[in-house]
Structure 1
């Protein structure tokens, strides 16, 4: 059996027809339009992509949480590195007071993250 197709079939379509065909192809798992056309013309099954709106929402929320956690973690690591370079008590006290806002942001974000995870959990339990 040949691995690489050797024969060509060319067809002409109107722009609107091509748009429809291409739109249908994009909803499949076919790697390219040629593979999709071969599957259809040979009456072989075409695997369609399935879009799960709940999973999309969950993924979107998790990505937002991950990005925010990375930013907060980066800021916190920078603050701790600064703490390790300090030599005297007054400098440390100044650092602690100036980083109080970052600590509050971390606490607030943790609370928001817990709320988001509870929403995700309830969405998953509905299924």
Structure 2
């Protein structure tokens, strides 16, 4: 055991609050480790560490998609209101005006859908 300790020439220093240190000591006493150093080494080297990486290039695309999603929701709400008014209106002149609004909303919606498709295609090309 003595020769194993002689091989350990590197030290690391960690500052802890009193509460953190008491928690560390308590956990150490509840384990089979003989010292705090042994317990810390055990914790450091026996548990796998998961590393997550974040693709910063996708952040802009996600923001654009979020903005397009809000616009599509707004257009869909307008579309639903127009359809509801057409279904409840019995006057032909009012229906004609509503149908013109309907056509303009439909064109706007299809243009936004095309934008979403383009953005998805760009993302697919970048990631695949």
Asked if these proteins are the same fold (TM beyond 0.5), I'd say: yes
Contact 1:40 1:46 in 2 (8 A): no
**How big is the alpha-carbon RMSD for the aligned residues of Structure 1 and Structure 2?**
3.0
CA–CA distance in structure 2, aligned partners of residues 100 and 108 of structure 1: 12
Contact 1:83 1:95 in 2 (8 A): yes
Aligned length: 92
What are the superposed Cα offsets for residues 32-59 of structure 1, whole Å, 9 maximum, x if unpaired?
xxxxxx9788314432322123444454
Match of 2:43 in 1: 42
Larger Rg: 2
Match of 1:115 in 2: 118
Higher-helix-fraction structure: 2
Q: How does 1:59-98 map to 2 (within 5 A)?
A: 59-98=62-101
What are the superposed Cα offsets for residues 82-125 of structure 1, whole Å, 9 maximum, x if unpaired?
11111021111011123333222112212212211221121122
Which consecutive unaligned segments of at least 5 residues does structure 1 have? 1-6, 11-37
With normalisation by structure 1, the TM-score equals: 0.55
Match of 2:108 in 1: 105
Is 41-50 or 91-100 further displaced after alignment? Answer: 41-50
**Gap change, CA 1:92 and 1:56, over 3 Å in 2:** same
